[in-house]
Homo-oligomer: A and B are copies of this chain.
């Protein structure tokens, strides 16, 4: 069931956030004042002031859309967040939990007891329940399941049976189906019997007795059609439909390509199982980009901005550890040339330049390839062609920037040959960066892994160790 809540623009939302924050701040001050004057004789502050202030906070929250409350909760530090959560209408706990980020959801669920949780999520639809289920205590899920009727329980189990990156996990079961042999007039009369059409209903699904999808009737078409026209004549049959096992991202890209609002999900026999809606697909696109950014930065998952320090440490731990290993390896490469550095200490100052530029250039290449792979625009057969192109780019960059920095090294240390080694090392390391930048993500893809994962750390490891090896190696060969 959807209720129409007040919607507000970004400015107004920021105002609301500010107001909630100041009410919470005032609450803390008032409570502090009242508790201090309990002992005093003549209270300067009305002992009921904190109560009134809380009521004001409760009223403010009651006016807000659940998505806006979710946004505000995410922006509040933990203790303030829990106070606001307490003041929000319990009847809206479910919708709010659906909207908040995973990290914040955890912090809210943690402070709720089983009874509150069951009450909060009991009214949600199967697909919504399925979204929350992984974060809920198992007991709560069982209890809620027990209260569902057989059809809903079946739907919930179906949704839960798919991995959360599959279409099946995002299926929505609230949809309108009709038969092909009726007229548009009949459809309009049938629709009028609903109290409300499901959200994002831009099309009605046409099925036969066995539930096979025969076509879709777009509402836009229905509204302009002759009432006497048969559905079979007005409906479209060439529409994209999805299988529950398909990747959710592929479905989201199809929504983007064809500007879809909703689309049917069918099983392998063509039986209509449910539908996908654009709001869920927007979330998929957002999550895909988010995880790309987070993976590049070496964060395991989206973080609660105000997470306890230890939670943040855990989220960042693994990538730092990997980075430490690769940095240690690079350090051992340098260690192998300590003798050379002792003879020509300028090498120590120049080597990070070679490694750094290689890392930057490699990250440029790998970012491009990762996106092309994710969008399905690059086929493995094209690897060779792209590699040659990237190699061309790296040779030009290496010659140009290598010459600049080589000239600077020559001026600084008065050695032409040191400048030439610098130029050669820069060019070779950029070529290594281009090669690894193409190879790492395509290999990852071939191995069935997410090509974004760890790409940045791996390429930096290659260009660091490789850069030190190339530069110090060349220097040892030609300068000493």
Residues of A within 8 A of B (CB): 4, 6-11, 13-14, 17-18, 21, 65, 67-68, 71, 74-75, 77, 99, 188, 191-197, 199-202, 219-221, 223-226, 236, 238-243, 246-247, 250-251, 253-261, 277-279, 281-283, 285-286, 289-290, 292-294, 296-299, 303, 305-307, 309-310, 312-313, 316-317, 319-321, 323-324, 326-328, 330-332, 334-335, 338, 341-342, 345-353, 355-357, 360-361, 363-364, 366-368, 371-372, 376-379, 382, 385-386, 389-390, 392-393, 396-397, 401, 404-405, 408, 412, 457, 460, 464, 468
Contact = CB atoms under 8 A, between A and B. Distances in A.
Given A7-B238, A246-B9, A352 B334 contact: yes
Contact of A4 (B238, B277, B319, B457): B238
Contacts of A352: 327, 330-331, 334, 352, 355, 464, 468
Nearest to A386: B305
B77 A385 contact: yes
A389 B309 contact: yes
A254 B10 contact: yes
A349 B363 contact: no
Contact of A327 (B223, B353, B382): B353
A385 B313 CA distance: 17
Contacts of A298: 360, 363-364
A393 B240 contact: no
Chain B CB within 10 A, most for which of A242, A255, A327, A378: A327
A313 B10 contact: no
A368 to B, nearest CB: 6
A227 to B, nearest CB: 8
Contacts of A460: 356
Contacts of A332: 349
A75 B448 CA distance: 21
A334 B323 CA distance: 22
Nearest to A330: B352
14 contacts: A8-B240, A14-B376, A21-B379, A197-B224, A200-B261, A289-B290, A296-B297, A306-B386, A316-B397, A320-B361, A323-B356, A335-B349, A338-B345, A356-B460
Copies of this protein, total: 2
B367 A297 contact: yes
A71 B457 CA distance: 30
A250 B9 contact: yes
Contacts of A396: 309-310, 313
B356 A348 contact: no
A312 B389 contact: yes
A223 B278 contact: no
Contact of A253 (B10, B323, B464): B10
Given A293-B293, A305-B386, A352-B355, A397 B320 contact: yes
A450 to B, nearest CB: 14
Contact of A9 (B75, B254, B312): B254
B242 A357 contact: no
B191 A305 contact: no
A355 B324 CA distance: 11
Contacts of A224: 191-197
A408 B328 contact: yes
Chain B CB within 10 A, most for which of A18, A292, A352: A352
B360 A323 contact: yes
Given A334-B349, A360-B298, A309 B392 contact: yes
Given A10-B250, A306-B386, A341-B341, 8 more contacts: A6-B238, A9-B243, A10-B247, A68-B257, A289-B290, A324-B353, A330-B356, A332-B349
Contact of A338 (B236, B312, B348, B377): B348
A326 B359 CA distance: 13
Nearest to A308: B389
Nearest to A77: B385
Contacts of A366: 297
A202 B12 CA distance: 24
A294 B247 CA distance: 25
A258 B191 contact: no
Nearest to A192: B224
A310 B389 CA distance: 10
A200 to B, nearest CB: 7
A404 B323 CA distance: 13
